[in-house]
Amino acid sequence: MSPRRIVVAGGGTAGWMAAAAIARTMGRAVTVTLVESEAIGTVGVGESTIPPLVTYNRLLGIDEAEFMRATQATFKLGILFDGWRDGSDRYFHSFGLTGKDHWAAGFQHYWLSGLERGQAAPYDDYCLELVAALKGRFAHLPDNALNYAYQLDSGLYARFLRKMAEGDGTRRIEGRIAEVELDGASGEIAALRLQDGQRVEGDLFLDCTGFRALLIEGALHAGYDDWTHWLPCDSAIAIQTENVGSPAPYTRAMAHDAGWQWRIPLQHRTGNGIVWCSRYLSRDQALDRLLGNVEGRVLTEPNHLSFVTGARRRQWMRNCIAIGLSGGFMEPLESTSIHLIQRAILRLIRMLPLGPVNPSDVAEFNEQQLTDMVQIRDFLILHYKATDRRDAPFWRQCAAMDVPDTLAQKIALFRETGRVFRKNEELFAENSWVQVMMGQGIMPRSWHPIAAKLTDDELARFLASVRDRVAQTVATLPAHGAYVTRYCGAAEPADRAA
């Protein structure tokens, strides 16, 4: 059987992540052709990532130091949230685990019991990643004991992956797509016709055209579910600034009266952006607010984005698979954009058909993709719904809105029992839900009775041992900036264009 022809429509992070993974994994079993135009810009603001990207890069055999050097990356241990609960608060959502779980109950149950007995320190003190982040420290530890992700330049990441993909045989065609040709009999995509008349045929087509969704929506009309009634922010502006001081090993998400602002420190610059609901703030007001709350000299012109949070109803339709923004959009609050690209690519590789597209594969792919997005959607809604802020119409709207039953059940269970259950390989594990729910002000009214098994002295010793181990480990870690310089220090910023 001749190699299956896979055509990737669009470059950027999504397109080159797909091409690189498929070309490296499948080798001569497929041919990969990527069509993109230098004249079409990419969104390019997905600069903060989560730990699964570490695994993704390892699966592709990518040398971490080389990758970080090429993308001007720093390490990330979590996200610092400012002002989400009452406007003056601060909490941290870290990677990894807090404390030490028992098979019957998570660590939070022991901590809650200790809190009632007057023996518990702040919950943050029991999490290695959290304490290390706030102290600005990082190092690789044996057995991957410190969980991390990256803060990176997504444009440079795409360039890095392009070199890798082309080295593995991917063919790149420069050109703008003028028409998506459909087969009259099957309704499948037969070819992409470019503005210069060139015709690119294929068996499978990956739509990596971003918000435009030229193939999955423009040609196949897959439909879109709008989730803005739960996630009302619909606009963003991104800019880049000079670094001020050593880069922190975490991303910041700072709430304001109509949304929030991000700050992502890389080696050579800091990524900044503001996300807001246009019903409550104008574009000019948002830009003024962003420029008034950045550190360092502004390096770029503002990049304005408009979006509709939601999911494509079918992300695999006929012989077309949506990858990235063409399949839906989750606002960048929990850094899930690149993760959703990664999940779609790896899922596609596992389901790649040998012959004709199998309807059972299509149905399973769509169900799994939607499940991923719904679970992430609920986690994002939590940040807006669980708030005591009533200082602005935006926050009053968020606090009053109805939420999906799936989220309402999770909140009610935690509030009453302190329990969180992870379902169907859910991205955000128990520790994430616990940190964010308590950070947003949801405190359990009870906890698992196994915590009562320990005497006061036993519980005090247990909590102290966890806390001391965290403090002692963090004390041995070097400063994050110094570690990055030694491990993967990149060339001067002027070399980026080389």
Residue spans of the domains in the chain: they are: 4-47+153-225+309-357, 99-132+378-476
The H-or-E segment that residue 288 falls in is helix 283-291
Residue the block writes with tokens 């390989």: 425
CA angle in degrees (0–180, nearest 5) for 289-378-220: 90
What's this model's pTM, rounded to 2 decimal places? Answer: 0.95
d(CA 371, CA 367): 6
DSSP 391-446: SSHHHHHHHHS---HHHHHHHHHHHHH------TT-SS-HHHHHHHHHHTT---S-
- So what's the pLDDT on residue 298? 97
Q: Are 233 and 274 in contact (CB under 8 A)?
A: no
Nearest to 10 by CA among 222, 305, 322, 312: 322
- So what's the pLDDT on residue 3? 67
pLDDT in tens, 197-238: 999 999 999 999 999 999 999 999 999 999 999 999 999 999
Identify residue 144 by its one-letter amino acid code.
N
d(CA 396, CA 232): 12
Identify residue 270 by its one-letter amino acid code.
T
Q: What is the dihedral of CA 205, 211, 213, 217, to 10 degrees?
A: 140
d(CA 57, CA 41): 25
Question: What is the CB-side half-sphere exposure of residue 199 using CA atoms within 13 A?
Answer: 6
Residues with Cβ < 8 Å from 399, sequence gap 6 or more?
385, 387, 388, 389, 390
- So what's the pLDDT on residue 42? 61
Question: What is the CB-side half-sphere exposure of residue 10 using CA atoms within 13 A?
Answer: 27
Helix (H, G, I), strand (E, B) or coil at 204: strand
- So what's the pLDDT on residue 226? 98
Sheet containing 177-182: give its strands across: 177-182, 189-194, 199-201
Sheet containing 328-329: give its strands across: 224-226, 310-312, 328-329
- So what's the pLDDT on residue 2? 57
Widest distance between CA atoms in the chain? 79
Q: How would you label 284-302 residue by residue, b for 16+ Cβ within 10 Å and e otherwise? A: eebeebbeeebeeeeeeeb
On the 0-12 / 13-18 / 19+ scale of CB atoms within 10 A, 94 is: buried
Nearest-Å Rg of the Cα atoms of the chain is 23
Query: Which residues of the chain carry a pLDDT beneath 50?
Result: 1, 494-498
CATH assignment, 4-47+153-225+309-357: 3.50.50.60
Helix (H, G, I), strand (E, B) or coil at 296: coil
Nearest to 258 by CA among 410, 349, 394: 394
Q: How far apart are the first and last CA of the chain?
A: 41
- So what's the pLDDT on residue 262? 97
Tokens of 250: 């975490």
- So what's the pLDDT on residue 425? 80
